[in-house]
Structure 1
Amino acid sequence: MLILLSCAKTMSATSRVKVPFTTLPRFQQEASEIAVQMSQFSVDELERLLRVNAKIGVENYKRYQVFHADSSPLLAAVLAYTGIVFKRLNPSAFSEEEQRYAQDHLRLTSFCYGLLRPYDMIRLYRLEGDVMLPEFGNQTMFAYWKSRLTDVFIEDIQKAGGVLCNLASDEMRGLFDWKRVEREVRIVTPEFHVWKNGKLATIVVYTKMSRGEMANYILKNKIQKPEDLKGFTWEGFEFNESLSDERRFVFTNGKGG
């Protein structure tokens, strides 16, 4: 089983975690070209393109200006991203065996690096999928990556057993020819909902936390069969058979009305 997680907007350049191996991103050249183009934008332009405030605009202007410098810090992707999902994934607690297993069974989306293995070494950046770069014919990052990633993604899933546990946000499907992926491998998409006033509600922070926890559960237990995902429980979330089907595995918290 291969797990797909979304990258996080927040990143760190340092980690105390020691890893026994690291790898180069498979789309390092593309990332380098993207960073060159992003470095041409002013702070004001970055604020608009990335929909961020002035402080974050300045921060990322500086990041892109030094992206290719030898002094620019590199960190394994799974340690560099610091969002809620990655806090719950908790890669700092992985054993060496779990790190090596994760390298083969976990993939992270990235608008800059395309598709990352957890221990690919990356630099700090910020990018959005709808950013259009002139030298790429003004196509969005989604369009730019789709033709480059789909074959590699399918091959990774097949190598990991032919099943994808899709724990990424919905927008990340735009990085791939998703219909083709659906035809060639089995995809299971877990959903996490809370019962509120007798109705199901989606609370973003709980969804993110649950995605990280489930990814950790899969890696720790080396889960290969989709059916074994049904045993996942966390903070009251448990598998809801009546709301699920072969593609959608729904986990609910609380009681329905």
Structure 2
Amino acid sequence: MITLLSCAKTMSFSSKVKAPLQTEPRFKTEAADIALQMSQYAVDDLERLLHVNSKMALENYKRFQEFHSDFAPELQALLAYTGIVFKRLDPQSFTKEDFLYAQDHLRLTSFCYGLLRPMDLIRPYRLEGDVRLPEFGGQTMFAYWRSRLTDLFIDEIKASGGVLCNLASGEMKDLFDWARVEKEVRIITPEFRVWKKDKPTTVVIYAKMCRGEMTRLILKERIERPDDLLSFSWEGFAYDEEFSRPDHPVFISGQ
């Protein structure tokens, strides 16, 4: 089974964790090309393109300017991303064997690097899927990656048992020809909801925390069978058969 997570918008490039492996991203050349195009934009342009404030736009202007430098920092993707999902995933607690298992069974989406393995070395960046680069025919980053990632993604899932546990955010489907992915492999899409006002409701922060916790469970326990996901339990979240559908297990808290 392969588990898919979204990249985080927040990144760090120092870590006390010493992962046992460093690998080169499969789309390192494409990432360098994208970063080169992004380095042509002024701070004001980046503020608009990345939907950020001026401070964050300046930070990412500097990142893209330094991206091709020999001195640009690099860190394994699993340690570089620092969003809520990755905090709950808690790679600081991973053993060498956990890291190696994750390398084979976890994939991370990236608008700059396409599709990452946990131990791929990446450089700091920020990018959005709706960014259109004139040098690439004006297509969005979603469209740019779709033709490049779909076959690779399907092949990796098939090589790992033919099952995908999709814990990425919904927009990440657009990085792939999702109809083809659905046709060729089995996709399990867990959902996490909180009981509010007499109905189960998705609360984004809790959904992100649960995605990280479930991924942690999958990697630590070496889960390969979809049915074993139903044992997931964290902070009151538990499988609810009534609201679940085949391949769409729902976990509810506060009922």
Q: Which category of TM-score, normalised to the shorter sequence, fits these structures? A: over 0.9
Q: Are residues 1:139 and 2:135 paired?
A: no
Separation (CA, whole Å) in 2 of partners of 1:134 and 1:247: 39
Structure 1 residue ranges without an equivalent (≥5)? none
1:112-162: CA deviations, max 9, x gaps? 000000000000000000000000000000000000000111111112111
Q: 1:188 maps to what in 2?
A: 188
Q: 1:211 maps to what in 2?
A: 211
Please tell me the residue identity of whatever aligns with 1:220: K
Q: 1:87 maps to what in 2?
A: 87
Q: 1:9 maps to what in 2?
A: 9
- Once the two structures are overlaid, the 10-residue window that deviates more, 13-22 or 137-146, is 13-22
Separation (CA, whole Å) in 1 of partners of 2:197 and 2:49: 39
Structure-1-length-normalised TM-score: 0.98
Separation (CA, whole Å) in 2 of partners of 1:84 and 1:159: 29
What is the deviation of 1:94? 0.6
Q: 2:42 maps to what in 1?
A: 42
Q: Secondary structure at the match of 2:35?
A: helix
Q: Secondary structure at the match of 1:243?
A: coil
Q: Are residues 1:121 and 2:121 paired?
A: yes
Mapping 1:1-257, distance limit 5 Å: 1-255=1-255
1:185-234: CA deviations, max 9, x gaps? 00000000011121111111000000000000000110111011000000
Please tell me the residue identity of whatever aligns with 1:97: E
Separation (CA, whole Å) in 2 of partners of 1:206 and 1:63: 30
Separation (CA, whole Å) in 2 of partners of 1:176 and 1:155: 13
Separation (CA, whole Å) in 2 of partners of 1:15 and 1:232: 29
What is the deviation of 1:247? 2.1
Q: Secondary structure at the match of 1:181?
A: helix
TM-align CA RMSD: 0.6
> What fraction of aligned residue pairs are identical, expressed as a percent?
65
Q: Secondary structure at the match of 2:214?
A: helix
Separation (CA, whole Å) in 2 of partners of 1:20 and 1:219: 16
Q: Secondary structure at the match of 1:248?
A: coil
Structure 2 residue ranges without an equivalent (≥5)? none
1:40-65: CA deviations, max 9, x gaps? 00000000000100000000000000
- The number of residue pairs the alignment matches comes to 255
